């Protein structure tokens, strides 16, 4: 009996170690890389200065003084803010429609359609939309056939960024739909039944019962929409054909541009800024979500 209990304890300890050890090792590696990146962001290290020398915040001042920095980070914030607004609104709307679909199988089919872009890498999404934005074979071909004027999707500075924003919304709205639908499905069914007994329609039930009890969905969807859009790289890189298109340059693209032109210290400074901004936004949302979850439990 004792040997059986000891073997069970040993097996339990091994299972825990199998989960903890890889996580701890990965955390140590990531922490090392963050510290390494932070250190070199305070140095003068480039093609012209192959030996890094500590210069303090001068590297940040140089990296942030360029027009590329201002335009790229403005694009990042515009992309993130726009996706949070539009993605949340569409996510709430579409999740609300799915919630009131009576057939669970049909709901699953619709949800699969909405989240399908998430199953495709952003690089592949970019290639697909390059074809759709092609002036000869894409959306413009159809517009011309029905008598509408063609649009210079990516070939004009005025429409390039809105076109990329359109693709971003298409790619990530399904994420918001998924979390909002999960949040709606988690609302106490007795509240829904009570509303139906009182003769409350679906629309009022949605606004009076579902939305007020779905704060977790708002927290998670907003945090992830910001994180994914702020660190986006593959999509603008593919749509622009490289890191030098100012109209589609984001903060992460600017970081890549500095690294490929061998301004290594400035590249690490931008990477540190991107990490700090993302952490400053996401961590409060994570703590708020955890606090609400613990309170709910």
Would 106 be classed as within a structural domain? yes
Would 96 be classed as within a structural domain? yes
DSSP, residue by residue, 249-271: --HHHHHHHHHHTT-HHHHHHHH
Would 32 be classed as within a structural domain? no
Using one digit for the tens of pLDDT, what is the confidence trace for 143-196? Answer: 999 999 999 999 899 999 999 999 999 999 999 999 999 999 998 888 888 888
CB atoms within 10 A of CB 287: 11
The CATH number of whichever domain residue 212 belongs to comes to 1.10.3720.10
Would 49 be classed as within a structural domain? no
- Mean residue pLDDT of the chain comes to 90
Q: How confident is the model at residue 293 (pLDDT cuts 50, 70, 90)?
A: low
CB atoms within 10 A of CB 73: 20
Does the structure show a pLDDT above 80 at 43? yes
Would 167 be classed as within a structural domain? yes
- Tokens for 246? 């100012």
**Domain that residue 155 falls in:** 65-296
Least confident of 1-10, 202-211, 248-257: 1-10
Burial of 192 (0-12, 13-18, 19+ CB in 10 A): middle
CB atoms within 10 A of CB 259: 16
Would 5 be classed as within a structural domain? no
Using one digit for the tens of pLDDT, what is the confidence trace for 103-114? Answer: 999 999 999 999
Would 16 be classed as within a structural domain? no
- Distance (Å, whole) CA 175 – CA 263: 36
pLDDT in the model for residue 39: 95
Least confident of 4-18, 227-241, 264-278: 4-18
Using one digit for the tens of pLDDT, what is the confidence trace for 54-66? Answer: 999 999 999 999 9
Residues 6+ apart with CB under 8 A from 91: 173, 175, 176, 177, 179, 180, 221
Would 207 be classed as within a structural domain? yes
Please give the tally of structural domains in the chain.
1
Q: How confident is the model at residue 227 (pLDDT cuts 50, 70, 90)?
A: very high
């Amino acid at each position: 009996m004792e040997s059986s209990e000891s073997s069970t304890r040993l097996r339990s300890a091994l299972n825990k170690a199998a989960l903890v050890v890889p996580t701890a090792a990965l955390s140590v590696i990531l922490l090392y890389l963050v510290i390494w990146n932070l250190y070199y962001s305070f140095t003068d290290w480039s093609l012209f200065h192959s030996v890094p020398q500590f210069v303090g915040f001068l590297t940040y001042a140089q990296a942030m003084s360029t027009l590329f920095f201002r335009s790229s980070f403005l694009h990042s914030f515009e992309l993130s803010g726009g996706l949070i607004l539009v993605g949340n609104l569409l996510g709430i709307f579409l999740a609300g429609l799915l919630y009131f679909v009576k057939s669970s199988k049909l709901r699953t089919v619709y949800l699969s359609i909405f989240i399908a872009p998430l199953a495709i890498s952003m690089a592949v999404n970019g290639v697909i939309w390059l074809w759709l934005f092609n002036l000869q074979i894409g959306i413009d071909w159809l517009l011309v056939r029905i008598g509408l004027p063609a649009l210079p999707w990516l070939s004009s500075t005025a429409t390039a960024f809105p076109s990329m924003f359109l693709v971003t919304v298409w790619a990530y709205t399904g994420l918001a739909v998924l979390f909002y639908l999960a949040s709606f499905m988690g609302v106490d069914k007795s509240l829904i039944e009570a509303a139906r007994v009182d003769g409350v329609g679906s629309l009022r039930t949605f606004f009076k019962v579902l939305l007020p009890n779905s704060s977790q969905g708002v927290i998670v969807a907003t945090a992830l929409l910001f994180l994914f859009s702020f660190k986006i790289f593959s999509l603008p890189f593919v749509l622009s054909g490289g890191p030098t298109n100012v109209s589609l340059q984001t903060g992460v693209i600017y970081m890549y541009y500095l690294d490929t032109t061998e301004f290594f210290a400035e590249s690490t400074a931008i990477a540190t800024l991107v990490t700090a901004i993302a952490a400053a936004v996401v961590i409060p949302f994570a703590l708020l979500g955890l606090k609400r979850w613990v309170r709910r439990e």
